[in-house]
């Protein structure tokens, strides 16, 4: 199969193929234009993979451009996080980073051009009156009393706006289009407003800022973008996109194409709602591992490859739909099953004393991956006292229970067969210690007399294991569509985070941040990229070994 045959296909790529075949374009130039007013989420990852992926596959270019026209809500923290997210996903923008603010002088000049053509006017209605005059979906709008001012008067008033002569909300610049248009976006939209706000790129040079719909199309044209890709909520805005470019003096006229946004179960994608989760401290921050942000998913242990594969699997269409969380989790499971080394960790420990084992530790060699010898092995100390999972022992068990039972045997992973002889309990009746014996002739082989031992459980040395905080993350909401709830906060999952204090094998003390491991029988985990250190290990559960939510729903 050729490289071209291996590429994903979708309606956007079909359009590009047709444009190149017809000679309409001889190159492909896309852009990714985030607003620096929050952290990117997985829906943005879809757009990143689409825009940068198309540029890669067609040997074209993709710009990273920050749509920084609203300085009140923007911050360099968001700029830096977005750059990191794009690079972490495995992409690199062409040339220097672009900002819409790079074009503020040209945008102002184009606004003046529209005024000179009688296609823009300074409005002095209040924001509330503007909304009232705009009409409704069933009623046309009304003309503003300021709509028919002369060109000279509008030029003077616009200059007054630029010079700080109007308070915020007292004047704006509107495009003069059609107050009876069936499309609300075409009813004399505001294209400039007054904002006395310090801008992270231009400082205090401007006190008027262009609106997104005016800025975006001109920025695309100035950068020579061939295919401007956005989500379906901007479908009606394409009319304004085209109107602006058709009515100013500019050589390039990009075309806008819309695709469906990503909706994912058990999450919210609204930046406003995500911001509320952060500001109300319902999560620990934008990078909380329960958040659908790229930085949150990264901290939880998702890999760039799994994110790109997810975006590839869901595809690009015009059909709105909601993707099951299991689809995303399947991608990371497939990746980590193949690539994550194995290790042992006990999350809810109970002590086992092997009474007939010597006091000195024995060093065992265990494979890092059962199917990949090239991944090597590690040394694991086996000692007289070990920890096992509390749920892996019962005083009495049935035939289905394949773990340790009083009076019966089980194998410790990579080690010996042990037999539970007796237990010790505290005053409340809780088991504190399980006393066992081991068969010294069962390392790597079955008992000599033919006894069959079916169960295998994991363990960690009690004396040489390393204490670790284990964070079990689950879905942040209890319902598939929390955005549809009257109060989305009311459906937050109270069990979305469980913190346990367990033990891990000594080799994990050197675990690098974000490095994934399969904790045998427990799931996939990674060292937290913010809180974990050699002095205090913190591991986040990325995903379980199988989809337990599917069983709950059955």
Supply the CATH number for residue 108's domain: 3.40.50.620
Residue 399, pLDDT score: 84
Kindly report, residue by residue over 329-346, the tens digit of the pLDDT: 999 999 999 999 999 999
264 located within any domain: no
So what's the pLDDT on residue 553? 42
- pLDDT category of residue 548 using cuts at 50, 70 and 90: low
In a domain, 351, yes or no: yes
Task: Looking at the structure, tell me whether residues 430 and 497 fall in a common domain.
Answer: no
Residue that is last in its domain, among 458, 478, 510: 458
Cβ contact 207:196 at 8 Å: yes
What's the rounded Cα separation, in Å, for the pair 197 and 322? 38
- Whether 349 and 337 map to the same domain: the answer is no
Question: Could you tell me the pLDDT band of residue 4, with boundaries at 50, 70 and 90?
Answer: very low
From the candidates 142, 261, 402, 408, which is the catalytic residue? 261
- What are the structure tokens assigned to 185, written together? 């976006």
Residues in the chain, overall count: 554
Q: What is the mean pLDDT of the chain?
A: 95
Domain range for 512 is 271-341+468-553
pLDDT of residue 550: 54
Q: What's this model's pTM, rounded to 2 decimal places?
A: 0.93
pLDDT digits (tens, 9 = 90+) for 62-90: 999 999 999 999 999 999 999 999 999 99
Q: Are 411 and 534 within one domain?
A: no
Residues 244 and 208 in one domain: yes
> Quick check: is 117 catalytic?
no
Number of domains in the chain: 3
Percent of the chain with pLDDT over 90: 94
The CATH number assigned to the domain holding 377 equals 2.40.240.10
pLDDT of residue 6: 59
Instruction: Give the Å distances, CA to CA, from 25 to 11, 12, 49, 84, 302.
Output: 17, 14, 22, 31, 37
Q: Are strands 29-32 and 61-66 parallel, antiparallel or unpaired?
A: parallel
Biggest CA pair distance of the chain = 104
Pick the more confident residue, 363 or 450.
Answer: 363
129 is catalytic: no
Dihedral over alpha carbons 479, 483, 486, 490 (to 10 degrees): 50
What number of other Cβ atoms are within 10 A of residue 22's Cβ?
8
pLDDT at 519 over 70: yes
* pLDDT for 2: 43
Instruction: Using the predicted structure, report yes or no on whether residue 322 has a pLDDT greater than 90.
Output: yes
State whether 140 and 288 are in the same domain. no
| pLDDT value at 549 more than 70 | no
Check whether residue 106 and residue 210 sit in a common domain. yes
Residue 530 lies in a domain: yes
Q: Which two tokens stand for residue 72?
A: 């009140």
Average pLDDT on 157-165 reads: 98
DSSP state of 513: B
Same domain as 351, residue 336: no
Q: Which of 13, 35, 162, 298 is catalytic?
A: 35
pLDDT in tens, 476-518: 999 999 999 999 999 999 999 999 999 999 999 999 999 999 9
What is the chain's Cα-based Rg? 31
* Same structural domain, 280 and 238: no
Confidence of residue 220 (pLDDT cuts 50, 70, 90): very high
Q: Is 35 a catalytic residue?
A: yes
Q: Is residue 265 part of a domain?
A: no
Q: Are residues 152 and 41 in the same domain?
A: yes
Q: Place 397 in a pLDDT band, splitting at 50, 70 and 90.
A: confident
User: What percentage of the chain reaches a pLDDT higher than 70?
Assistant: 97
pLDDT in tens, 23-37: 999 999 999 999 999
* Residues 160, 191 share a domain: yes
Cβ within 8 Å of residue 493, ≥6 positions away: 474, 475, 476, 477, 478
Return the pLDDT at 359: 84
| Two structure tokens written together for 219 | 């920025």
Least Cα distance to 240 among 306, 285, 183, 307 occurs for 183
Q: Which of 259, 281, 298 is the last residue of a domain?
A: 259
Report if residue 359 sits inside a domain.
Answer: yes
pLDDT at 554: 38
Encoded tokens for 537: 């290990």
CB-based burial label for 391 (10 Å; 0-12, 13-18, 19+): exposed
**Which residue out of 142, 195, 271, 390 is catalytically annotated?**
271
pLDDT digits (tens, 9 = 90+) for 221-274: 999 999 999 999 999 999 999 999 999 999 999 999 999 999 999 999 999 999
Per-residue pLDDT tens over the stretch 162-207: 999 999 999 999 999 999 999 999 999 999 999 999 999 999 999 9
Are 427 and 481 found together in one domain? no
> Does residue 266 lie within any of the structural domains?
no
My answer on whether 210 and 282 are in the same domain is: no
> Which of residues 404, 428, 458 is at a domain's end?
458
């Amino acid at each position: 199969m050729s490289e071209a045959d291996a590429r994903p296909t979708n309606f956007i790529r079909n359009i590009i193929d047709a444009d190149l075949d017809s000679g309409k374009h001889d190159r492909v130039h896309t852009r990714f234009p985030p607003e620096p007013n929050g952290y990117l989420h997985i829906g943005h990852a879809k757009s990143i993979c689409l825009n940068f992926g198309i540029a890669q596959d067609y040997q074209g270019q993709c710009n990273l451009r920050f749509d920084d026209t609203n300085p009140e809500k923007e911050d360099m923290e968001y700029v830096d996080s977005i750059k990191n997210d794009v690079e972490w996903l495995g992409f690199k923008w062409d040339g220097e980073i672009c900002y819409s603010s790079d074009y503020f002088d040209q945008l102002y000049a184009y606004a003046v051009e529209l005024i000179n053509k009688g296609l823009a006017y300074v409005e002095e209605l209040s924001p509330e009156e503007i909304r009232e005059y705009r009409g409704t979906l069933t009623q046309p709008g009304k003309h503003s009393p300021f709509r028919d001012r002369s060109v000279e008067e509008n030029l003077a008033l616009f200059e007054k706006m630029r010079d700080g002569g109007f308070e915020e909300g007292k004047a704006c610049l509107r495009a003069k289009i059609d107050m009876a248009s069936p499309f609300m976006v075409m009813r004399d939209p505001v294209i400039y407003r007054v904002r006395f706000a310090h801008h992270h790129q231009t400082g205090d040079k401007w006190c008027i800022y262009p609106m997104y719909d005016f800025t975006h199309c001109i920025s695309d044209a100035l950068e020579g973008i061939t295919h401007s890709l956005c989500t379906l909520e901007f479908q009606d805005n394409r009319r304004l996109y085209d109107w602006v470019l058709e009515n100013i003096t500019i050589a390039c006229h990009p075309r806008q194409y819309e695709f469906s946004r990503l909706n994912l179960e058990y999450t919210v994608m609204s930046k406003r709602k995500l911001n509320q989760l952060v500001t109300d401290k319902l999560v620990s921050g934008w990078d909380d591992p329960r958040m659908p942000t790229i930085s949150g998913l990264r901290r939880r242990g998702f890999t760039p490859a799994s994110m790109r594969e997810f975006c590839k699997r869901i595809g690009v269409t015009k059909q709105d739909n909601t993707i099951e969380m299991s689809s995303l989790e399947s991608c990371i499971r497939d990746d980590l099953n193949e690539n994550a080394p194995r290790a042992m960790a006990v999350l809810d420990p109970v002590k086992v004393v092997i009474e007939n084992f010597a006091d000195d530790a024995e060093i065992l060699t265990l494979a890092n991956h059962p199917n990949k010898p090239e991944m090597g092995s590690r040394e694991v100390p086996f000692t007289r006292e070990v920890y096992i999972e509390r749920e892996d022992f019962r005083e009495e068990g049935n035939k289905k229970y394949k773990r340790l039972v009083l009076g019966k045997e089980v194998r410790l992973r990579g080690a010996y067969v042990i037999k539970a002889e007796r237990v010790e309990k505290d005053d409340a009746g809780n088991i504190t210690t399980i006393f066992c014996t081991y068969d010294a002739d069962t390392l790597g082989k079955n008992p000599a007399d033919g006894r069959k031992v079916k169960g295998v459980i994991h363990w960690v040395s009690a004396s040489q294991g390393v204490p670790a905080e284990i964070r079990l993350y689950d879905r942040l909401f209890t319902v598939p569509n929390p955005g549809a709830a009257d109060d989305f906060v009311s459906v937050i999952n109270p069990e979305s985070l469980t913190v346990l204090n367990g033990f891990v094998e000594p080799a994990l003390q050197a675990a690098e941040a974000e490095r994934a491991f399969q904790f045998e029988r427990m799931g996939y985990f990674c060292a937290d990229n913010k809180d974990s250190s050699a002095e205090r290990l913190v591991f986040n559960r990325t995903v379980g070994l199988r989809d337990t939510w599917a069983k709950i729903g059955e």
